[in-house]
Structure 1
Amino acid sequence: MTLDRKLRYGMVGGGPGAFIGEVHRMAAALDGKIELVAGAFSSSAEKSKQKGEELNLDPSRVYGSYQEMAEKESQLPEDERIDFVSIVTPNFLHHPVAKTFIEAGFHVVCDKPMTKTVEEAEELCRLVDEHDVIFALTHNYTGYPMVKEAREMIENGKLGEIRKVVVEYPQGWLAEQVDNKQANWRTDPKKAGVSSAVGDIGSHAENLVEYITGLQIESLIADISSFVEGRELEDDANVLVHYKGGARGILYCSQVSVGEENNLSIRAYGTKAAIEWKQENPNYLHVLYQDGPEQVYKRGNEYLTEAAKHNSRIPSGHPEGFIEAFANIYVNFANTLSAKLSGEDPGELDLDFPTVQDGARGVDFIHKVIESGKKSKWVDVDYTPPS
């Protein structure tokens, strides 16, 4: 039995002036399977009401706090209440908001990093299991079709044994002191946590490596810097990585690389071949060989794997980008949730989205990088979150 309606969701955060909330709303709406019906869009009840009016929501479903939203949505009939919540707040609110809604029985989509501390992340892992809810983390770069193609190549042995991985995520928007909402919370330890650059973009880079290659970190050593005077958290990090099984890696993330926008890229070198993918030109995957010509795989073609095709919407030659990749997290989550609500098993390709355990590994990674950077020494990372 297929669910005969759209999934209903509420949003916490994403009020006036917020960037990522609008991205989530566009991504969730793209495939027509999800509708926004409720929200607590700001810690200010007035601003939350303003955003609700802009989005043409029923005023009775626009709340002054996330606690009120969880309580009142729980009291609504099952055919009216939200099915899940989307959490798009600054980092420090991810844990309390997620915990509140999980304990109320709601499924969750949460922005990254999942929490500020490893202990909070592990608590969410246990709560997700205890309450039998579905939890998706929006590491949206895993949603690109050619990222999925790269993953399939490595899983199928086309590259041979992976020896070396280089992943970079340079930005330049914080190369000087910036005074706006987005910059202020990301550089504030009370709201961002222990890290700025690593937590905000380095966590994406680490997750992308693990997703594509399947490699997990054994140990690392980091060099972290705060180049802008007065900035409490790091704005640049360079990390050497040892992976389980012997592969080596380099991870570089920076918010002070002048002229860079969102130049996330990854190169993985195996014993047979290598791959290269760039987020700013995401519809192409380059495959390199020692004894043959370079090959370029293009999004939207029939020769691609089912995973890549499953996450494409339009024919080749019509670029798909950031919003579509973000939407792939939402639509796979939605298909999985719809199957659960219908009493069915989800398809294997629909289960392809980052989970609460991915979130816990990401939080541990952030803390280990900062620990290593402060001590200037190798640290062990061998970490398994609660399942």
Structure 2
Amino acid sequence: METTNGSLNRKLRMALVGGGQGSFIGRVHATAAVLDNRAALVAGALSSNPERAKASAPAYDIAESRAYTSYQEMIDKEKSLPVDQRIDFVSVATPNHTHFEIAKAAADAGFNVICDKPMTFDFAQAEELVKSVEKSGVVFAVSHNYTGNPLVRQAREMIQGGELGEIQAIRANYIQGWLRTAIEAEDQKQAAWRTDPSKSGAAGAFGDIGTHAYNLGRYITGLIPEEISCNLKTFVEGRKLDDYGHAVIRYSNGALGTVTASQISHGRENDAFIEVDGTEGSLQWRQEEPNVMIVRKNGSPHQMYTRDPNAPFMNEMGAAACRLPAGHPEGFFEAFANVYRFAYDAMVARAAGESFETKDTIYPNVYDGAEGMYFIQQCVASSADNGAWLPMKYENARS
């Protein structure tokens, strides 16, 4: 008889940091985490404002006794509970500048972590967090959620299995238009912290969405970057961080890649898309139409792959990321849930005292998060030096 989380035979207990009233991504985490009925949200520190933290708890069905007023209080009190009651993992859904302290405190206390991206405020924090995770042995996932789309995983297996031949070019883009005007000056919550260097870090659009585009290229192709040249630009007058940028990447196998990120393109909503060119074929996938992937080969009809877990053309990794039959669209929440789903497998293994993979995981991990912070650091430095070529190979990167 199949049981919940295998040998664990129970749901994992989740705590959420962030996600209070007015939050977007906190509610996404809470929804994705429980989609497969493998976890339950039982505790939270939902806001840095103690009153708002308490007031937000009923919307998540968190009991008053476990609605904490700070993440420090939450970690201390949860750690003091009996093993069969305390939380198993902490989800961090707060602005960038708070990720490090929360994630490190959770890891140091022995709690598994799922952290929003970018993982930390800067690369130095990321390196320190890697050390904490390695020392504690916790499971650590980063919510680069687009890696959870079934056809992204299908593409990954096809490319790394050689179906497109040698990869020569990657074009990864993330185009939005919501910051075309200075809505941060009108106290729009999401815009305010994302355009504030003290909360968002050294990059604006490139930190917020450029990291997604970069990660998508790395995840799908597995190619190792060697050098990067970047130009960042702030087009909206008075804005303190970039709202548009373009980077060129040289990969170790000789391939070239580009990353373009914009938050000022009229009419563009959430258009993350990637194109990969190989010697034997090319591939295209778009986040706004996630259930379709196009594969092209000269002299042959274009192939349109649709998400179908029972189709013979789906590989094992692509099919494993599906939940619904063909023709029933899966999208943002399901992809986000796949980051959780496969991190849960590692959490269950850890709870059972079994070994689990930490670097070359199907879900984005702490090393991917650190590489994303290195990407931001090098892009900002390159742009400040008129697009100078800078090293991009991160020593702890997945192979």
> Above 0.5 in TM-score?
yes
Aligned to 1:378: 389
Q: Per the alignment, in what secondary structure is the counterpart of residue 7 of structure 2?
A: coil
Letter in 2 for 1:38: A
Aligned to 2:347: 337
Between 172-181 and 296-305, the greater mean CA deviation after superposition = 296-305
TM-score, length basis structure 1: 0.97
The C-alpha deviation readout for 1:161-190, integer Å capped at 9, x for no partner, is 011111111000000011311000000000
Q: CA deviation at 1:104?
A: 0.8
Q: CA deviation at 1:216?
A: 2.1
Counterpart CA distance in 2 for 1:192 and 1:362 is 14
- Which of 34, 41, 49 in structure 2 is aligned with 1:36? 41
Letter in 1 for 2:363: F
Letter in 2 for 1:245: N
Counterpart CA distance in 1 for 2:147 and 2:16 is 22
CA root-mean-square deviation: 1.5
- Which of 307, 311, 315 in structure 2 is aligned with 1:302? 311
Aligned to 1:56: 61
- Which of 121, 127, 147 in structure 2 is aligned with 1:116? 121
Tell me the matched-pair count: 386
Letter in 1 for 2:11: K
The C-alpha deviation readout for 1:117-159, integer Å capped at 9, x for no partner, is 1111011111111011000000000000000010111111110
Aligned to 1:368: 378
Q: Per the alignment, in what secondary structure is the counterpart of residue 339 of structure 2?
A: helix
The C-alpha deviation readout for 1:218-243, integer Å capped at 9, x for no partner, is 11111111111110100000111111
In structure 1, stretches of 5+ residues that fail to align are: none
Counterpart CA distance in 2 for 1:307 and 1:346 is 18
Residue 138 of structure 1 pairs with residue 143 of structure 2: yes
Letter in 1 for 2:311: E
Counterpart CA distance in 2 for 1:260 and 1:145 is 24
Letter in 1 for 2:284: E
Q: Per the alignment, in what secondary structure is the counterpart of residue 86 of structure 1?
A: strand
Aligned to 1:188: 196
Tell me, yes or no, if the aligned pair for 1:125 and 1:385 is still in contact at 8 Å.
no
Aligned to 1:104: 109
Q: CA deviation at 1:53?
A: 2.1
The C-alpha deviation readout for 1:63-121, integer Å capped at 9, x for no partner, is 11111111111000001110000000000000000111111111100000001111110
Tell me, yes or no, if the aligned pair for 2:371 and 2:397 is still in contact at 8 Å.
no
Letter in 2 for 1:281: E
- Which of 256, 281, 296 in structure 1 is aligned with 2:289? 281
Between 291-300 and 191-200, the greater mean CA deviation after superposition = 291-300
Counterpart CA distance in 2 for 1:343 and 1:259 is 50
Cα distance change, pair 97–340 in 1 and its aligned pair in 2 (3 A): same
The C-alpha deviation readout for 1:270-294, integer Å capped at 9, x for no partner, is 0000000000001111110012111
Tell me, yes or no, if the aligned pair for 1:336 and 1:351 is still in contact at 8 Å.
no
Aligned to 2:3: none
Counterpart CA distance in 1 for 2:394 and 2:341 is 29
Counterpart CA distance in 2 for 1:185 and 1:123 is 24
Counterpart CA distance in 2 for 1:283 and 1:332 is 20
- Which of 303, 313, 327 in structure 1 is aligned with 2:323? 313
Counterpart CA distance in 1 for 2:354 and 2:391 is 41
Residue 12 of structure 1 pairs with residue 51 of structure 2: no
TM-score, length basis structure 2: 0.94
Aligned to 2:95: 90
Letter in 2 for 1:364: Y
Aligned to 2:50: 45
Between 338-347 and 317-326, the greater mean CA deviation after superposition = 338-347
- Which of 262, 272, 295 in structure 2 is aligned with 1:254? 262
